[in-house]
Amino acid sequence: MKKAKIGLGVIGFGSMGRTLEVVRDAPGLRYELRAVCGQNPDTLRLRAQQAGVPFWTTDYRELVARKDVDVVVVYSPDHLHAQHSLAAIEAGKHVICGKPNATTLVETIELVKQVRQKGVKYLAAYTLRQDQQYFAARKFLDDGDLGELIVLESHYVHDMRDVYENTPWRLQAPQDMMYGGCMHAIDILRAFAGDVDWVHANGNQGHLTPTYPIVDNFFINMKFKSGAIGRVSGLYGVVHPPMPMNQIGLYGTRASLISEYGPSQLRVVFDKLAGHPPLVTSFNPEPESRKYWYGPNIVRYLRHFQDCLDTDQEPSPDILESSKSVAVGVAAWESIQTGQVVKVFNDF
């Protein structure tokens, strides 16, 4: 029996939202892009026509109320994610939300509460968790090749000046790069090591963009409940150094692994092969990446979410996972402001 189409509504049909056009080309996906929402009516109308979307609106409440929309995808500016997700949940819609799910602890606690009460499914669209390198590193860890994790580190370094020019809302809001940037690096370490117990963080302003008003460079030290220690470097107010934008390091009792993004490469040194060259694996660009930004990653999480809808399973990462990552960011901000070690809230 042929399964029904899944109606998608997108809040925030800009550069990221438009990548959802990938659903038309990806085999096996049953999604239909049926409604989009954005701020600029003229631009939105044109984009909707180009994408063949039958309904567009500047009012997100109209979108979430539509009966032909089954899943709401939230790609709006960070500080609006909670508001837009809560409206969709209240309307009984399933939600896929880009990082972060919220920018305050109060908001993310409310999101967890409402998802549980309404019984809808919520997927946190963390793209690093959908990369080929992540799945390869996950396989090494799950198969025991790395042993027990001792130390983890992740960096996300991105000179934001060109990004600010192309998306001025990041200066106007302003976008808080703890949640708009560091959240990627925080969440990927949580994906491997689990809950964070406490953090100690430092931050400063790079002043490369004079109109960006808040801290945009972060070092975050963390202790996981497992006993492992971790470090996140989130640098957005620096001249981009001669290094990849993203890198993950997993150091275990049996091996140490480095995963880099751009070039996409994974390197492993095994303790039992001491003195031997590291295992080096490179990942070639996937077909969807030639046309769509983060296309392969989006296809993977859309396929995962579709499977969860079909089998009534919980998505991963879900609302609880994403909320615990936001809670690390909240604790890191408190540590920056107080200079103290701060316990992370995990009791959702």
User: For 285-327, what is each residue's pLDDT tens digit?
Assistant: 877 665 666 788 999 999 999 999 999 999 999 999 999 999 9
Separation of alpha carbons 46 and 113, rounded Å: 38
Whole-number average pLDDT of the chain: 95
Separation of alpha carbons 335 and 169, rounded Å: 27
Q: With helix as H, strand as E and coil as C, how does 244-288 read?
A: CCEEEEEEECCEEEEEEECCCEEEEEEHHHCCCCCEEEECCCCHH
pLDDT at residue 293 in the model: 65
Q: Give the rounded percent of residues in the chain with a pLDDT score beyond 70.
A: 98
pLDDT at residue 73 in the model: 97
Q: Are residues 240 and 329 in the same domain?
A: yes
Query: What tokens appear for 315 in the block?
Result: 């998505």
Separation of alpha carbons 324 and 105, rounded Å: 10
Q: Are residues 153 and 271 in the same domain?
A: yes
Q: Are residues 226 and 335 in the same domain?
A: yes
pLDDT at residue 95 in the model: 98
Residue 26 lies in a domain: yes
Q: Are residues 61 and 192 in the same domain?
A: no
Residue 348 lies in a domain: no
Q: Give the rounded percent of residues in the chain with a pLDDT score beyond 90.
A: 88
* CATH number of the domain that residue 110 is part of: 3.40.50.720
Confidence of residue 24 (pLDDT cuts 50, 70, 90): confident
Q: Are residues 229 and 338 in the same domain?
A: yes
Q: Are residues 116 and 170 in the same domain?
A: no
pLDDT at residue 89 in the model: 98
User: What is 126-164 written as a DSSP string?
Assistant: -GGGGSHHHHHHHHHHHTTSS-SEEEEEEEEE---HHHH
pLDDT at residue 261 in the model: 84
Query: What tokens appear for 96 in the block?
Result: 């896929």
Given a contact cutoff of 8 angstroms between Cβ atoms, the answer to whether 252 and 243 are in contact is no
pLDDT tens for residues 253-294?
999 999 998 778 999 999 999 889 999 999 988 776 656 667
- The model's pTM is 0.96
Q: Report how many domains make up the chain.
A: 2
User: What is 276-333 written as a DSSP string?
Assistant: SPPEEEE-PPPGGGGTSTTHHHHHHHHHHHHHHHHHT---SS-HHHHHHHHHHHHHHH
* CATH number of the domain that residue 339 is part of: 3.30.360.10
Residue 38 lies in a domain: yes
Residue 205 lies in a domain: yes
pLDDT at residue 315 in the model: 98
Separation of alpha carbons 273 and 84, rounded Å: 51
pLDDT tens for residues 66-96?
999 999 999 999 999 999 999 999 999 999 9
Residue 1 lies in a domain: no
pLDDT at residue 285 in the model: 80
- Look up residue 320 and give its amino acid: L
- What is the separation, in whole angstroms, between the first and last Cα of the chain? 39
pLDDT of 65 above 60: yes
pLDDT at residue 291 in the model: 64
Q: Are residues 56 and 109 in the same domain?
A: yes
In terms of residue numbers, what domain contains 152?
129-286+324-343
pLDDT tens for residues 139-196?
999 999 999 999 999 999 999 999 999 999 999 999 999 999 999 999 999 999 999 9
pLDDT at residue 167 in the model: 93
Q: Are residues 248 and 304 in the same domain?
A: no
Residue 122 lies in a domain: yes
Q: Are residues 188 and 202 in the same domain?
A: yes
155-181: buried (b, 16+ CB within 10 Å) or exposed (e) per residue? bbbbbbeeebeebebbeeebbbbbbbb
Residue 248 lies in a domain: yes
pLDDT tens for residues 91-124?
999 999 999 999 999 999 999 999 999 999 999 9
Q: Are residues 60 and 13 in the same domain?
A: yes
Q: Which helix (H) or strand (E) holds 233?
A: strand 229-235
Separation of alpha carbons 128 and 135, rounded Å: 10
Separation of alpha carbons 218 and 224, rounded Å: 19
pLDDT at residue 289 in the model: 61
Q: Are residues 48 and 78 in the same domain?
A: yes
Query: What tokens appear for 33 in the block?
Result: 């892009």
Residue 135 lies in a domain: yes
pLDDT at residue 290 in the model: 59
Q: Are residues 275 and 133 in the same domain?
A: yes
Sign of the CA dihedral 16, 17, 18, 19? Answer: positive
